[in-house]
Amino acid sequence: MSARAKLTSSINKMGRTVHILRNAGNITEKHLIVSGFGARAEKTPFPLEASYFLWSSEVRVGDICQDMLTEDRKLIASLDYLGVNGSKDGIRVTEIKCNDSIVLYELVPTGVVNDFGKKNYNATVRLNDYACVFHNVRGDFLLPIGEIDKNQVIIIFSGRNIGSYVPKEGNRLVLLNGAKYQIDGVDAHIYPGSFKTLCSPDQRTE
């Protein structure tokens, strides 16, 4: 039995059904979760999980997958095709569990200058539904987007509902519980199709 046939058989027999959430309509597929896989705590402050999809799967980096049984939502952080000599026997993905939802507010300058000589801004809402929020971050943890302070958090979210807009420093993220954070740094290279942001509590009154 070929590698593709073995993996396909395992996914069909033991895999769990998930919805790949798409604006144009959900795609229903199966994936096989690999137990015992996780990121080492000293390398990343959040847990990662690996799973396998069929070789013909339509899953893409940046997708949100929702388990049909538990309704857990996971962000596809990376994707690798399995096989040799160009063959595709299956797809191995790395997932991050989404533990919150966010509303992204883009700050757009109005062209009006206030009494202090600074531009005024309007807040344009861009809903981006699900996100991975990590509150417990070590103060000495270094990332390409800067050193993390103890009051800062990492928020990772998919770019699937943002279109061509790229989040910028100073924009606001509001969590489901109403907590407001401002974006201090953006890294779109670690997880293609997603945005990894370094945020701190937003003290602005506007």
| Structural tokens at position 165 | 């807009």
What was the pLDDT predicted at 119?
75
The predicted pLDDT at position 182 comes to 93
pLDDT of residue 140: 45
Q: List own/partner pairs for 182-188 with CB under 8 A and 24 or more apart.
A: 184/145, 184/146, 184/152, 185/145, 185/146, 186/145, 187/143, 187/144, 187/145, 188/159
Return the pLDDT at 19.
96
Whether the Cβ atoms of residue 31 and residue 51 lie closer than 8 Å to each other: yes
- Residue 147: per-residue pLDDT: 52
User: Is the alpha carbon torsion for 93, 96, 100, 103 positive or negative?
Assistant: negative
Residue ranges of the chain with per-residue pLDDT less than 70: 1, 35-47, 136-150, 205-206
Question: What is the structure's pLDDT at 41?
Answer: 39
Q: What is the pLDDT of residue 44?
A: 55
Q: Which helix (H) or strand (E) holds 108?
A: strand 100-113
The enclosing H or E element of 196 equals strand 194-201
Confidence (pLDDT) at 130:
94
Distance CA 137, CA 121 (A): 31
Residue 150: what pLDDT? Answer: 59
Residue 177 C-beta-side C-alpha neighbours within 13 Å: 5
Q: Which residue carries 């402050």 as its tokens?
A: 45
Alpha helices, DSSP H only, in the chain? Answer: 3-14
Q: Note the pLDDT tens digit of each residue in 35-47.
A: 655 544 334 556 6
Provide the pLDDT for residue 139: 46
The domains found in the chain, sorted by start residue, are 3-98 (2.40.10), 100-201 (2.40.10.370)
Q: Concatenated DSSP letters for 134-192?
A: E----TT-EETTEEPPTT-EEEEEESTTTTT----TT-EEEETTS-EEEEEEEE-SSST
